[in-house]
Chain A
């Protein structure tokens, strides 16, 4: 690539290049698209549990079998889902973020200074 940067602080132009590059905005957008909805979903699920416990006691105390009712299953489900979300995030970041990040690194560092 020929150096077409304007004169000035060379570092700053590198930063601007990265900031404006489609790869960078793609990486950021992908991260945001995954993390924000997941956070929202997860909060809604917690808040819903509180509401159900308060306003749908009949449903929550419905016996599924033996001494086990819906509230208990949902409550345990919160533990399971918290853990599941963490695992999903970790796997997703390992697979979808790290490799692209690595590729970007090679692109940036491969550029002539």
Chain B
């Protein structure tokens, strides 16, 4: 692979990101600028931006890698990543918009009138965000290593520094346009090589026997629930994965806030339709890389499957064409790391700043600080923790790790949102208990996995895909504890219910309760 060309392409993406970040600094001075500006954005642009922020290293590199190794079952990743948005739309999007809460901790505080529940939610946002950032850094390290042979620390450090710089400068997030552009860049980068390869084959110069070898591709690999790649209990694992992805999206810190960028509920629904279409379109391509990789890069199955998207163009089309396509794919991959990491870092930094950091800073300095600096320090911290985690973890599967972040979200924020919105008798104690039980169980499973995990059999299946047991556990905890503590139902529950379920046009007070 020509490293010069790929490095140039990556460099262009990085420069464009920094440039627009600096530009964003000049035109957006307050957080409200972001919302006000975005409200003029059409559903189509907004949907591109949501998709651009959402498609991460896991989607761009990880899904193809998993399908390459484990076969047909892994196609559910692309289905689940998409369907999560439908669940978000029908179950929580509209009521949450009406609650007037911009973040999950805000929602928890308005609904449950408890600083403790809010604090737990803030901790979970940081945890889920960190777990989600970790594979982004691994993806960046892997990409730079594949392109140049440099150690993985280099790529990860580059992404970490750029993201922190941009977030601290206040750019990036403010520009819906950048995220929208990143979606189309990612789609182009992934789709173009496939089309070029197909056109090259149609014009006659396909390698001898390629079609036969595609059709005869290892039969176990193409069978569903076949345990290909050494995954035991595939039926359980598939169901658990589907649950995590379907119900986890609604609890991802960087996803929810995007729904406020629509002017009204109607536009929010339109936006979701377009998001589903855009994500569906994107996810057509990773499986194609996996199928082609099975034939042209079988060595990657045992070593470095996550690099298949990066390696394939050059393996199939040697020479300048392959180099150019390889450079394009590397650029697309960097767009994926940068856009998702920026969104996550903004979300984590916001929560860290507001709920965990500012009051302490105030105490330490006796009030002698500037609010913006507190956010900047929080942004640096938000990336430092995942970077340290990156240094101590060995290679891990990108899509699997992101799947674990979904599992934690599905076991904590999903019960909080779904029951909190639809069940008036949910008590504050029930909410706290559910968050703690689901959060501890799912995070423990995630942690064990990231650090190595059990070798096989049921322990591996249960820890590798925890959602099928941690999510019901959290729901049951909330319901049982709420029934046991009816005196802890928040006094304003009736008011919250009206606020959540009457249409936005009705003039009820949606502000946070004054305290």
- Using a CB–CB distance below 8 Å, which chain A residues touch chain B? 11-12, 14-16, 18-19, 24, 27-28, 31-32, 35, 38-39, 42-43, 46-47, 50-51, 53-54, 57, 78-79, 82-83, 85-87, 89-90, 93-94, 97-98, 101-102, 104-105, 108-109
* With known contacts A27-B501, A82-B276, A38–B224 Cβ distance under 8 A: no
* With known contacts A50-B224, A83-B276, A109-B506, A19–B497 Cβ distance under 8 A: yes
CA distance A12 to B269 in the complex (A): 31
CB of A89 within 8 A of CB of B90, answer yes
B224: which A residues are within 8 A, CB to CB? 50, 53-54
Give me 20 A-to-B residue pairs in the complex whose CB atoms sit less than 8 angstroms apart, sorted by A's number. Answer: A12-B495, A15-B495, A16-B494, A19-B494, A24-B498, A27-B501, A50-B76, A50-B225, A50-B235, A51-B235, A53-B225, A54-B235, A57-B223, A78-B79, A79-B280, A89-B90, A93-B269, A97-B503, A101-B503, A105-B502
> Which residue on chain B has the smallest CB distance to residue A89?
B90
CA distance A14 to B507 in the complex (A): 11
CB of B498 within 8 A of CB of A85, answer no
B276: which A residues are within 8 A, CB to CB? 82-83, 86
B456-481 at interface with A (beta carbon < 8 Å): none
CB of A98 within 8 A of CB of B503, answer yes
B501: which A residues are within 8 A, CB to CB? 24, 27-28, 31
Q: Which of B7-15, B179-187, B238-246 touches A?
A: B238-246
* With known contacts A50-B238, A109-B507, A85–B270 Cβ distance under 8 A: no
Nearest chain A CB to B187 CB, angstrom units: 17
CB of A46 within 8 A of CB of B242, answer yes
In the complex, number of A-B residue pairs with CB atoms less than 8 Å apart = 105
* With known contacts A15-B495, A16-B494, A105–B506 Cβ distance under 8 A: yes
Kindly identify which residue among A11, A31, A89, A105 contacts B509, using a CB–CB cutoff of 8 Å.
A11
B272: which A residues are within 8 A, CB to CB? 86, 90
B422 within 8 A of A: yes
| Binary A-proximity of B323-344 (CB < 8 A = 1, otherwise 0) | 0000000000000000000000
A89: which B residues are within 8 A, CB to CB? 89-90, 269
The 8 closest A-B pairs by CB, nearest first: A101-B503, A53-B224, A54-B225, A15-B495, A105-B506, A90-B269, A19-B494, A18-B498
CA distance A19 to B424 in the complex (A): 11
A101: which B residues are within 8 A, CB to CB? 502-503, 505-506
CB of B83 within 8 A of CB of A39, answer no
A43: which B residues are within 8 A, CB to CB? 242, 246
CB of A85 within 8 A of CB of B86, answer yes
* With known contacts A46-B242, A86-B276, A104-B503, A35–B225 Cβ distance under 8 A: no
CA distance A107 to B487 in the complex (A): 33
B269: which A residues are within 8 A, CB to CB? 89-90, 93-94
> Which residue on chain A has the smallest CB distance to residue B275?
A86
CA distance A46 to B280 in the complex (A): 16
Nearest chain A CB to B511 CB, angstrom units: 12
A18: which B residues are within 8 A, CB to CB? 498, 502, 508
CA distance A24 to B239 in the complex (A): 37
CA distance A11 to B235 in the complex (A): 52
CB of A19 within 8 A of CB of B498, answer yes
| Binary A-proximity of B79-115 (CB < 8 A = 1, otherwise 0) | 1001100110111001000000000000000000000
* With known contacts A47-B239, A50-B225, A90-B270, A35–B505 Cβ distance under 8 A: no
Nearest chain A CB to B284 CB, angstrom units: 10
B507: which A residues are within 8 A, CB to CB? 105, 108-109
Greatest chain A CB density within 10 A among B91, B224, B276, B507 is at B224
B246: which A residues are within 8 A, CB to CB? 43
B202 within 8 A of A: no
B277 within 8 A of A: yes
CA distance A54 to B234 in the complex (A): 10
B91: which A residues are within 8 A, CB to CB? 35, 39
Nearest chain A CB to B251 CB, angstrom units: 16
B515 within 8 A of A: no
Nearest chain A CB to B240 CB, angstrom units: 11
B363 within 8 A of A: no
CB of A86 within 8 A of CB of B89, answer yes
Nearest chain B CB to A25 CB, angstrom units: 9
A83: which B residues are within 8 A, CB to CB? 276-277, 280
CA distance A53 to B75 in the complex (A): 13
B297 within 8 A of A: no
A57: which B residues are within 8 A, CB to CB? 223
CA distance A57 to B219 in the complex (A): 13
CA distance A38 to B234 in the complex (A): 27
Greatest chain A CB density within 10 A among B495, B497, B502, B508 is at B502
A108: which B residues are within 8 A, CB to CB? 502, 506-507
CA distance A39 to B88 in the complex (A): 11
* With known contacts A39-B91, A50-B225, A86–B242 Cβ distance under 8 A: no
CA distance A100 to B152 in the complex (A): 57
CB of A82 within 8 A of CB of B266, answer no
CA distance A27 to B501 in the complex (A): 8
A16: which B residues are within 8 A, CB to CB? 494
B273 within 8 A of A: yes
Nearest chain A CB to B439 CB, angstrom units: 23
Nearest chain A CB to B215 CB, angstrom units: 10
